[in-house]
Amino acid sequence: MDGEDRTLGRAAGRGLRLGIDTVDTQAAARTLNRSGRRFVVVHAASDWHPSVATGDNGFFPKLTAELAGQGIEARLVRARSRPADILSDPEAGHIHLKIGAMPGYAPNLLHVNQGYIQGFWYLDELGTHANSSLRFAQFCADRVNRGHAEYFFNGVTGWMLRNNVSNSPQAERRPDLLEPARAVVFTQEIEFQRSRAHYLTNEQMIRTAAEFDRRRLVYVKPHPHQSKAALRDILAVTRDYQNVRVCEASVHDLIEVSDIAVTQNSAAGFEALMQKKPVVTCARSDYHGATLTARTAGDLRDALEFGPAAMEGFAYEKFFYWFLSRNLLEPVKESFAERAVARIRDKAFL
């Protein structure tokens, strides 16, 4: 970092050790800092800490084994704890991986989280999902191999749609029981977050879609983690419209029977790309390169009217491949650990 020769923390070997040793005390953190060695420090939010510690997390066992084989030790710390603050001292020179919603840039920091599709993970310099560096990346279809993209797209989407796979459990697939709809609105729980990301609220999305064409049905699917208070507000809005139906059917069925999907920036919106459906994102999103962005209710009305025509011919296969295969990491792949460690080395000048 600063020209000083720091020895990497030495690991015992390449054997696959599932968990990561935890630094629980300030004294232990100071001891690591005084060792003169650089460690990879995993900062896990409370909902991630147990699975990372035991090795039940799908990302870290292979990564830490590869690091160990290259002579780099890893340690686990609770995010935002006092030991985490001590280990974050720039003079210590450690490399930091934050797992959870903790966006931010630092010279030796990368961010880890599950992607929108099961089995794909972020390892990003800025954050994950709407905060990832992909929000600023430029998708260029001409630079993506069509054959590779189609093979990848057909494999991933075919498996997910056939098996009704999503990040959250879904109702049994029965699209034949659903009436065709003009739109499906996927609500979320992001409007009261400390850092605002949405352009339109759940209420604005529902009302705009419902009033666009009162002769056509609009489905509303609440987020599986929707709070009781938010759900009450959503249900109160839907009761104002005869053409709005709250539905807990499979996300894949709702997408299949709808002309267009509307969301702030949810995984359901990304999943709609698997069926090549037009998607309107009403918040900051890192997959906006494959969607129409609505910053106002007027934008959303325009998207509802012209969206299908505007997105006709879009290279969904290429975007899917570019986003997931080129930019995210897939732990089941043999190249996963090598690619992940290469990103870490490049970031931290190891």
Q: Please report which helix (H) or strand (E) contains residue 227, including its range.
A: none
pLDDT digits 0-9 by tens, 183-202? 999 999 999 888 999 999 99
Q: Do domains 26-115+328-348 and 141-324 have the same CATH topology?
A: yes
pLDDT for res 9: 44
pLDDT digits 0-9 by tens, 45-77? 999 999 999 988 889 999 999 999 999 999 999
Name the percent of the chain lying above pLDDT 70.
95
Amino acid at 85: D
Mean pLDDT calculated for residue range 153-161: 97
Topology adopted by domain 26-115+328-348: Rossmann fold (3.40.50)
Q: Yes or no: say if 149 and 317 are a contact pair by the CB < 8 Å rule.
A: yes
The rounded mean pLDDT for the chain is 94
pLDDT digits 0-9 by tens, 223-249? 999 999 999 999 999 999 999 999 999
Q: Please report which helix (H) or strand (E) contains residue 262, including its range.
A: strand 258-263
pLDDT digits 0-9 by tens, 301-320? 999 999 999 999 999 999 99
Mean pLDDT calculated for residue range 259-276: 98
Topology adopted by domain 141-324: Rossmann fold (3.40.50)
Q: Is 343 exposed, middle or buried (0-12, 13-18, 19+ CB in 10 A)?
A: middle
> Which residues face 40 on adjacent strands?
74, 95
Domain boundaries of the chain, sorted by first residue = 26-115+328-348, 141-324
pLDDT for res 32: 97
